[in-house]
Chains A and B, each alone.
Chain A
Amino acid sequence: MARAVTNQRKTINTILAWAVGLLIFFPILWTILTSFKTEAQAISDPPVFLFFDWTLENYAVVQERSNYMRFLWNSVLIAGGSTLLGVIIAVPAAWSMAFVPSKRTKDILLWMLSTKMLPAVGVLYPIYLIFIKFGILDSRIGLIIVLMLINLPIIIWMLYTYFKEIPGEILEAARMDGATLKEEILYVLTPMAIPGIASTILLNFILAWNEAFWTLNLTAAKAAPLTAFIASYSSPEGLFYAKLSAASTMAIAPILILGWFSQKQLVRGLTFGAVK
């Protein structure tokens, strides 16, 4: 039986949730607001919130100076490519760990996660040299591989957790009905785990989209994604906050829209199996 919730409690909860939500969203809101200010207004003290002369000048400057579409296209390909490649590798890996675990499965899972503990800059030179050797410096394929490798432990972990929630008996029944391994994974396991796979894809797409160490260090002009686009608007000498905010807003807009439309899927996937 559901617990009775008083109206007063409901109101308090709603207000609290909104307050926390707004607090988390505030930096993004401030960035968006700053992008419509002049450079002088952007740094004015005390800061101006809503009452200023709204201007689109920063967007015009950014549009004129940078080829936004090229950066955007690179971001889409790199984030999308690395996520898809990661999922293709991770689904069979997570299947084997969830349904046919060995004595060492837990150790392997932990070991995989430990690779995330290495500071990225520690392997910058080895990876840079490998990239030079294979001629994939400043190429999208190089970044797709690197970002896939970086996010692979998280993808496998997430999928493993979701797969664990699916009763092994269902897969066993499929096998008894004569399903091959491929059919079992593709037609039985995957459809049942769709919410989990979808949220894994979404989360990793966001992680790859925001990745700003490798995408800055392994690219020059050709494969540079939106992170490099943002980095080009920070300046050591001169005012830049308004233009930087405009560039940031343009860089996060696609992912914000994607997140907005897929939030139900994302929440469902993230809480998948939490309530029985």
Chain B
Amino acid sequence: MKSSIRVLMGACAVSAIASSAFADTITIATVNNGDMIRMQGLTEDFTAKTGHEVEWVTLEENVLRQRVTTDISTKGGAFDVMTIGMYETPIWGKNGWLVSLDDLPAEYNADDILPAMRGGLSYDGTMYAAPFYGESSMIMYRTDLMEKAGLEMPDAPTWEFVADAARKMTDKENEVYGICLRGKAGWGENMAFLTATSNAFGARWFDENWKPQFDSPQWKETLTFYLDLMNEAGPPGASTNGFNENLSLFQQGKCGMWIDATVAASFVTNPDDSTVADKVGFALAPDTGLGKRGNWLWAWALAIPAGTQNEAAAKEFIQWATSTDYIELVAENEGWANVPPGARISLYENENYKDIPFAKMTLESILSADPNNPTVDPVPYVGVQFAAIPEFAGIATEVGQEFSAALAGQQTAEEALAKAQALTSDAMEAAGY
């Protein structure tokens, strides 16, 4: 009897050691966006399939960016998987800070990832982050106000049409403003919108020799157009409006049009929060006939910092979270409208997803953005609403402050552009370009 107990205990110990050798606990840093929170709620499925436990660190976007940058640049090893964007991925990949994801197994089907996303998350042909969800920007407009103004929104409007419609839809007495656009300063705030818009006007950040181009007529046209439009048809205090402020205005019925992230479509059509949920139409971001549209491209992606102790488990997680199986798991639990969009081709071929009102326009917006060839004239950088160089975030935030001050009426477009040109030239020279 005693010996059988001993054998049993021995077997238990061996199995415990064996399972602990394979089951790891991985720490994942992420942002507080709806899709990420849904993923956290479904972690049990991953643990059931692989045995690995997951610890979540959820932070506000700017805090997260600072936190993971500190950790990865010092090889701190606090995280096994990091949520990063399209801006960081090529820079960090180039520095050798990220683990290559080119060796994911065949059943993962990496070829199913939208080419624009894969391209933006690669450096030198190697994929360093897998897109969890992707987004572009598009026009969300009030169908009732458009009809009242006697206009019909085309699928692919020009800026001229949008500006005309915005002025006609504006009814300041009733607090209805024709167009709501970002004004809050920041490289990921007003500069994301304005850089993407400048592409449609034929402007660019730098020429082929990295010379800043804010003194070009195209930038002057972009900024003047934006300021005039916002002053005539925008909401008051727009220089402090970002995504959430405009979302709130649109949901309360105070915006005729709003050009922002495609992910907003699910918010403005949600009857629980939006008073205009059944009166929203979608269109591509406008162009000026030069061949480029003012829509950006962004992905929240999962990457593994080089030197992590749990690389194998981290890869298994990324495989699980960015797979087609995961999309089906979300659809099963939360419905097709809540699956993470913009990452996989197969999602847009899925019959169930085709019924979602904003699905088609989201895909078309993503497909019309090209991070490798974002502008009318050639540029030396990659990125639609940013230039993927380490200096960009700092420079663009300062430029954003100048443009935001111009929107607030504190300076003219010319003054803002002159300051932008000077500060960008100084920063680029200091950085050795």
Report which A residues bind B (CB closer than 8 A).
Answer: 39-40, 43-45, 65, 124-125, 128-129, 131-132, 137-138, 216-217, 220-222, 224, 228, 231-240
**For the complex, is B243 an interface residue (Cβ under 8 Å from A)?**
yes
- State in angstroms the CA–CA spacing of A50 and B29 once bound together: 37
Q: Which of A131, A221, A224: most chain B CB closer than 10 A?
A: A221
Which of B29, B32, B55, B242 has a CB less than 8 Å from the CB of A234? B32
Assess the B70–A236 pair: CB atoms within 8 A. Answer: no
Number of A-B contacts (CB under 8 A): 92
Q: Kindly identify which residue among A43, A124, A216 contacts B248, using a CB–CB cutoff of 8 Å.
A: A43
Residues of A within 8 A of B272 (CB): 40
Residues of B28-73 contacting chain A, CB below 8 A:
29, 31-34, 37, 40-41, 55-61, 63, 66-67, 70-71
- Please tell me if B74 contacts chain A, counting CB pairs below 8 Å: yes
Closest partner residue, chain B, to A233 (CB atom): B32
Q: Out of A228, A237, A239, which one reaches B59, CB within 8 Å?
A: A228
Closest B residue to A138 using CB positions? B78
**Mask for B4-39, Cβ within 8 A of A = 1, else 0?**
000000000000000000000001010111100100
Q: Which residues on A sit within 8 Å (CB–CB) of B57?
A: 220-221, 224, 228, 232
Give the shortest distance, in Å, between B368 (CB) and chain A (any CB).
21
Known: A45-B252, A128-B74. A237 touches B67 (CB 8 A): no
Evaluate whether A237 and B37 lie within 8 angstroms (CB atoms) in the complex, with A217-B67, A220-B57 already known: no
From A40, A216, A220, A231, contact of B27 by CB (8 A): A220
Chain B residues within 8 Å of chain A by Cβ, number = 41
Interface-centre pick from A128, A137, A238 (highest chain B CB count, 10 A): A238
Cβ-based interface call for B211 (8 A):
no
Residue of A nearest to B75 (CB): A132
Contact A220/B60 with A233-B32, A239-B244 known, Cβ cut-off 8 Å: no
Q: What are 10 A-B contacts with C-beta separation under 8 Å?
A: A45-B248, A124-B70, A128-B70, A132-B76, A220-B57, A232-B32, A232-B60, A236-B61, A238-B267, A239-B273
Check if B261 is an interface residue, CB within 8 A of chain A.
yes
Taking CB atoms and an 8 Å cut-off, the chain B residues in 231-252 that contact chain A are: 242-244, 247-248, 251-252
- A236/B243 in contact, CB under 8 A: yes
In the complex, the chain A residue whose C-beta lies closest to that of B70 is: A128
Inter-chain contact B261/A237, CB cutoff 8 Å: yes
Q: With the chains together, A233 CA to B37 CA distance in Å?
A: 10
Among A129, A137, A236, A238, point to the contact of B78 (Cβ < 8 A): A137
Question: What 1/0 mask marks residues of chain B from 77 to 104 whose CB sits below 8 Å from any chain A CB?
Answer: 1110000000000000000000000000
A216 engages B63 (CB within 8 Å): yes
* Nearest chain A residue, comparing its CB with the CB of B249: A45
Residues of B within 8 A of A222 (CB): 55
* Contact B33–A237 (Cβ < 8 Å): yes
B276 contacts across to A, CB distance below 8 A: none
Q: Write the nearest CB–CB distance from A224 to chain B, whole angstroms.
A: 7
- Answer yes or no: B399 CB below 8 A from chain A CBs: no
Q: Chain A residues near B77: list those with CB within 8 A.
A: 132, 137
Asked if B264 is an interface residue, CB under 8 A from chain A, the answer is yes
Q: Which of A39, A44, A65, A220 contacts B29 (CB under 8 A)?
A: A220
Whether B194 is near chain A, meaning CB under 8 Å from some CB there, is no
A129 with B74: CB separation less than 8 A? yes
CB neighbors of A among B243-280 (8 A): 243-244, 247-248, 251-252, 261, 263-264, 267, 272-273
* Cross-chain contact A65 with B40 (CB below 8 angstroms): yes
Given contacts A124-B70, A129-B74, A217-B70, contact A236 B60 (CB under 8 A): yes
Residues of B within 8 A of A128 (CB): 70-71, 74, 76
Residues of B within 8 A of A217 (CB): 66-67, 70
Cα distance, A149 to B67, chains bound together (Å): 22
User: What are the residues of chain A within 8 A of B273 when measuring CB–CB?
Assistant: 39-40, 239
Q: Closest residue to B56 on the A side, CB-wise?
A: A221
Interface centre among A43, A131, A224 (most CB of B within 10 A): A43
Tell me if B67 and A132 are in contact (CB < 8 A). no
**Nearest neighbor of B189 in chain A, beta-carbon distance:** A236
Cα separation A44 to B248 with both chains bound (whole Å): 8
B33 touches A236 (CB 8 A): yes
Task: Name B66's closest neighbour in chain A (CB-CB).
Answer: A217
Q: Given the known A-B contacts A65-B40, A221-B56, are A238 and B33 also in contact in the complex, defined by CB atoms under 8 Å?
A: yes
Residue of B nearest to A240 (CB): B32
* Minimum CB–CB distance for B334 against chain A, Å: 15
Q: In the complex, which of the residues B32, B37, B67 has the most CB atoms of chain A within 10 Å of its own CB atom?
A: B32
